[in-house]
Amino acid sequence: MKILTCKQVAELIQAKPSTIYAWAEQSLIPSFKVNGLLRFDEAEVLAWLTRCKEGRNSWYNGSIQTRSSRKGGRKQHGAL
Separation CA 17–CA 37 (nearest Å):
14
Domains of the chain: 3-60 (1.10.10)
**46 half-sphere exposure, CB direction, 13 A CA radius:** 7
pTM of the model: 0.68
Handedness of CA 58, 19, 2, 31 (dihedral sign): negative
Task: Give 67's pLDDT tier (boundaries 50, 70, 90).
Answer: very low
Separation CA 80–CA 62 (nearest Å):
13
Task: Give 55's pLDDT tier (boundaries 50, 70, 90).
Answer: confident
Over its C-alpha atoms, the chain yields an Rg (Å, rounded) of: 16
